[in-house]
Structures are given as structure tokens and as C-alpha cells.
Structure 1
């Protein structure tokens, strides 16, 4: 059986790890997969049956031991290289940056005899990040020399090929669109989830989610205010703080707590099922969160970018791009979140939803397994 190793850098949001985990799950039906990351959430979000290796988190290791950045990085490089050599994969998959944030993948990328795949999300985060980070002069050279393919986890309607025309021909030839990477959710899945979360007397359901929770503290506090509005008294409301949310959890050792019609959750492993099954979702503008809300039943989605727009416009672009094809309304200011949500919650108008390519898991699996079956990498 072919083997594939995935690596997600722990300094990014949880969405990067989630995207790779979803692809790994698809490939696990045909290959042995291993997901490697320093994300502390990894053991709690990895699907059952998927092998993983949790390496020391960069910041925690550095601060706890008083190491320099260089010392910390060298230790992690040795750990990553050891895991790679022992697993001996036929393919390696990563995202974010071709060499990793601190060149921790340089040995693997330049020396390992395996297929190498770079996953690119729909929105990188602005022109500066495109030209100075992902597609810097150095990284373009690395991608061209060492990588097998660049897989764009988007639909050309959202991320047109025209925006990559400035890249060298070699890089453009490496690009394949796979579609959005998100779990599919069946009608039966939705029925089970709604039965688990709703009572027979209360079938209107709102889910408020900050995704992984990073930078979502003010947003979640505003969602709590929304849930207390008397106009939602006949709605069931679930508020998910997110794994990395820094709001002090006020309910002791339990992971969820219910007050009247509102249930608070620290985090939920299968959050995608709630995003797909609710009648209304109020959420941040992360890639995974939004694409998960686009699955399942017809619903209203109200989305707010928790990122500083002046520094990074990724979430705003996610919201505005996807809202052309789905029932997503942008919340431009937290001050308007409550009224905008309540005023528009029943107003679908005559919106013609257009189906985007949501088969990223399936298509990535097909491409990578085909490559592995046709090329002798050993």
C-alpha cells in the first residue's frame, strides 16, 4: 500500500490543518496516511482511524524551554525528518509555504525521493502575501524544481486562472483545480444531527461559530448577545467558541452547557455537521467554515471577517466571493450583527444558487492516487 505524509504548520489557523485532514481522509481509503503537525488541536479533531504525529508546538516549546527561534526550529526539523524517514512515504502533501514557515521542510522537499504536492486555498490573503510569501521569487523556484503539482482547493469561478497568468509557464503547467475541500453531508446525516440537537417542539436552529476560534473572541461575545435577544426565544441556538478561542470558559470542566434555549460549546469535533444542518449559521469568514455551511439544507449564512482587513483580506474575500453563489450575507461591523441577522433571517428573496465544485476531497484523491499508480517513486 502506498504511503502519504501530510504536514500542517502550527502557526497558522486551524483551517490549514483541517483542509489537509479532509484530503487525508479521502486518501485513507486507498493509501496509508500520516498527518503531522504541531497544532495542539490535532488529537481532538483528527477522524478516527487516521494516523497522526503531534510534534512540539513551536511557540510553546520555545517559551517553555527558553530556546531561541533557531534552537527550536532545529529540534523540530530533526523530529520532522525522523518521522518522515521512518514512515518513508511515497508522497508528501503540505500547504502554506513550499519550504514551511521556517524552512523546516527543506530537507524533505530537496532530498526526498517522493511525489510532492502543494495545496493552495482560494484566497491567500492579499497581494502582499501572494507575491512576498507564497509566490516569492525563491518559492517559485522551489515549486518548479521540487514539487509535482500545485492543487488549487477552489473553483475557477471563485479563483480564476487569470490571476496566475503572471507566473512562469512551468508553474502554470503544474496547477490543477480540485474544487473546494469539504466533507459531503447526506440527508440522513442531517436528519440524525437535527434529532440529536433539537427537540420536537423547537425545530428552528441557529449555529454561531468562529471556526477554530483564533481571533474570534469579540465575534463570539456578540453572538452571545444575539442569542439573548427575545426575538430568538423560539430558536434553538448553539454557540461554539472554537478550540483556540481565548475567552475564559465559564462553565467548569464540562465541554458544553445549556441555559434555556442556548447551548455553549468549547468546541465540537464534527462541527461541519452542525454547519450543514442548521437553518441559520452566524460565522467567521474562514474557508472551512463557509464551505461547510454551503453543504446540506438551504439556510441563511451571516458571516463576519475576524481578521484585520487592513492586514489580511482573506476572510472578506471568501465572504464576498462565495456570496455570489450562495445565501451568504456579509456582516461588515459587529455593531450591526444582531439587527442584520434578525432582520434578514427569513428573507431569502429570489436567489438562484449556482453549484460550485465542492468535490475537492474526491478530486485530490483521484489525482494523487493516479500519479502514485503511474510513477515509480522508489
Structure 2
């Protein structure tokens, strides 16, 4: 039976949350009606035509602290509280009309400022919270995910946590259970797609370097350009990301791409992926059986860096992956990666059919009762 599935996608500085959300929505749209609600404009090109989305006002220009951090201009100057109400109203009206059977939330349970709290309480929908395999600093991460009264809703709504990874390379379940011992948690597996094996003997040796969103990616980009100058026999495809900037003088054996809607073509001709260790960069490499070098640069957000370090160390026992923490060590790590065993030679292969497992959960979920969804009328008191 087809279900109506709504996604509330957290807006991170990078593309991780929205990319993960859209990957799930694209898969589920084959048999269900899916709608994504987010402030991330990247949903426009991450989603298939079979999925639509409602664009909320972006947090980047709404919330004072976030705008200051990103160096963006505020386009709504009536204060953070009214900015959150702005998003809350739009999200609730969308949910009221769509009347979802199931709601997926990536990361923050009730939204950045609690704007989804009332929506969730009144929805009557089954709720799934999707988390990465590793969260990073336990107390701060869990407080961030379940803040804004989210912790109070756990016993009321009884959501289920879906960890998008293998239990052997995950710590998020332990982190969450340390605060919520009875919350149901399931490791569905990595959301890796059905990529094809890359030809390891292709020439020249091609490295795909992804800076994710590009935020704090300059150190890695410059280091790869320097490597290319010293080793003209290799070829590097450098994706700097939508928040990144072009290196001032890339050598001729470096192809610079500011932003791409799909990197499958680049992955198919690569022999190695170099990245910061973000979830989506890693699973894209895994989908094509490519070895990975993770560079944990100093510029990366400390919590994100902690999360990526832990995840990469765990993953390296089950997949051809090397971790590099100093930019001076990067050339040697890339050289050493050529000696890594092939991905399919590792015993006890990782669980990577997360999309199929999520599809099975949705297929067996109970539909919501339409009469359960009642949204409080908009309070215009004090709007001025």
C-alpha cells in the first residue's frame, strides 16, 4: 500500500543532511508519495522528478548567529523568535494539507528552534529519526538533536531511531541510549547506491577529491593542487563545493568543479577518493568500491572532526580507508592507499542496503488517521 511520506530535513552548514534525506526520498518515491520540507535550496537538484519539496526560508538569512557565522546577510530582521515562527507556520500548513502517514527527520528532532514540535505532536504519523553512524561529542550532539523540548516528546511520540550505518562501525546508538535507554534503535545499513566497480588499472591514475560543501575546504584543495604540480603523471578532479572557492592557479592536470549535481561520472573514472570523511562522500566512494583517504583538517568544525575521526577509524577495519590528520602527511597517505586491498576482499562485508531496509520499514508501517492531524490556527497576536 502506498504511503504519504514527509521529510523534515535539517539544514547543516554542509550538504550531508539534505543529501541523505533526498537519497531516501528518491528511493521511497518509487512506491510512495514523498514530500520534502527544508530550507536547503539544494533539494531542487538532489531530488528526482518523482519527489517534490516545499522550500522553507533558509536559516542562513533568518537566524542572527548563523548568518554571522556564515558571513551571510539577514533578509528577515524581526528577531530570531519570529523567524522561527515564520518557518513553523509554513511547515505546519504543509503537513496539515499533505497529512503524512510517516514523517522522517534527519538529525534535529524538533527543528533548529523547535518549529516542528507542535507539528509532530498533532500529526498522528509514525516518526523515524535518521542519524549518522557516529555523532561526535556525545553530550553536545545528543543535546543538539533532542533540544528544544525534543527530549520531552520521546515518551509521548515514541519515535524510532534509524542509524544509517553498520552496527560494527557505529557509536550513535550508544550515545542516544545513554540518555534515552528505552528508545527503539535500528541499524538499517549504509545508504550506498548500486555503483559499479572502477577499473583500477586505468591511466592516468585519477584521484577524485571532494570538499563536500566546500566550507573550510581550502586547505585540502590547495594541498591537492600542490600534489598535482609535483606529480604530473596523476590526474585530479577537484570538487570544491557550493560554499568553496576556486584555487587561484590549478595546474593543468587538475580539473576544478565548483558544484556538480552528480559525481557518478567522476567516480567511474577514479581510482581513489580523497575527502574530509563526510558521510555522503564516504558512501559515494563505497558505492563504487573505491579506496578512501580521509583528511581531517584543522579548519573543520571540531564536533564534525571528532565524528569523522571516530567513524573513519571504525570503518578502516572493514573497508580500504586511511586517515590523515596533518596536511604534510597527505602525499604519503595517498601513495600508501595504492597498496590497500580491494574493497571486496575484506571479510564480513559492511551492511550497505540501508535504502532497501528503510523501504521495508515504510511498507509495513501503519497509515496515520487523517482526523489525527489538527494544527492550531495561526496566532497573529503581536505581529505588528
Give the structure-1-normalised TM-score.
Answer: 0.84
Show the counterpart of 1:182: 192
Distance 1:310 1:31, change over 3 A: closer
Show the counterpart of 1:361: 355
Show the counterpart of 1:60: 61
Alpha carbons 1:7, 1:36 under 8 Å: kept? yes
Show the counterpart of 1:324: 317
Secondary structure in 2 aligned to 1:222? helix
Distance 1:311 1:346 in 2: 27
Shift of residue 58 of structure 1?
Answer: 1.6
Show the counterpart of 2:47: 46
Deviations 1:263-318 (A, max 9, x none): 11011211255346520111111111112212224x43111124244785111112
Secondary structure in 2 aligned to 1:100? coil
Show the counterpart of 2:380: none
Alpha carbons 1:303, 1:331 under 8 Å: kept? yes
Alignment RMSD: 2.8
Distance 1:316 1:145 in 2: 35
1:336-355 superposed matches below 5 A: 336-341=329-334, 343-348=335-340, 352-354=345-347, 355=349
Alpha carbons 2:14, 2:212 under 8 Å: kept? no
Q: Bigger CA drift: 202-211 or 59-68?
A: 59-68
1:90-109 superposed matches below 5 A: 90-109=101-120
Secondary structure in 2 aligned to 1:65? coil
1:288-327 superposed matches below 5 A: 288-297=280-289, 299-306=290-297, 307-309=300-302, 312-327=305-320
Deviations 1:209-228 (A, max 9, x none): 11222222222222222222
Show the counterpart of 1:255: none
Show the counterpart of 1:197: none
Q: Bigger CA drift: 1-10 or 101-110?
A: 1-10
Matched, 1:139 2:138: no
Distance 1:135 1:99, change over 3 A: closer
Show the counterpart of 2:233: 234
Secondary structure in 2 aligned to 1:278? coil
Shift of residue 157 of structure 1?
Answer: 0.7
Distance 1:277 1:150, change over 3 A: farther
Distance 1:81 1:135, change over 3 A: closer
Distance 1:170 1:115, change over 3 A: same
Alpha carbons 1:34, 1:51 under 8 Å: kept? yes
Matched, 1:72 2:83: yes
**Structure 1, unpaired ranges of 5+:** 195-199, 252-257
Matched, 1:152 2:157: no
Paired residues in the alignment total 354
Distance 1:376 1:164, change over 3 A: closer
Show the counterpart of 2:256: 264
Distance 1:88 1:12, change over 3 A: farther
Q: 2:121 aligns with which of 105, 110, 117?
A: 110
Distance 1:53 1:96 in 2: 19
Q: 1:119 aligns with which of 123, 130, 135?
A: 130
Shift of residue 99 of structure 1?
Answer: 0.9
Deviations 1:91-121 (A, max 9, x none): 1111212111210111211111211111121
Deviations 1:73-93 (A, max 9, x none): 111111111222222221111
Distance 1:234 1:348, change over 3 A: same
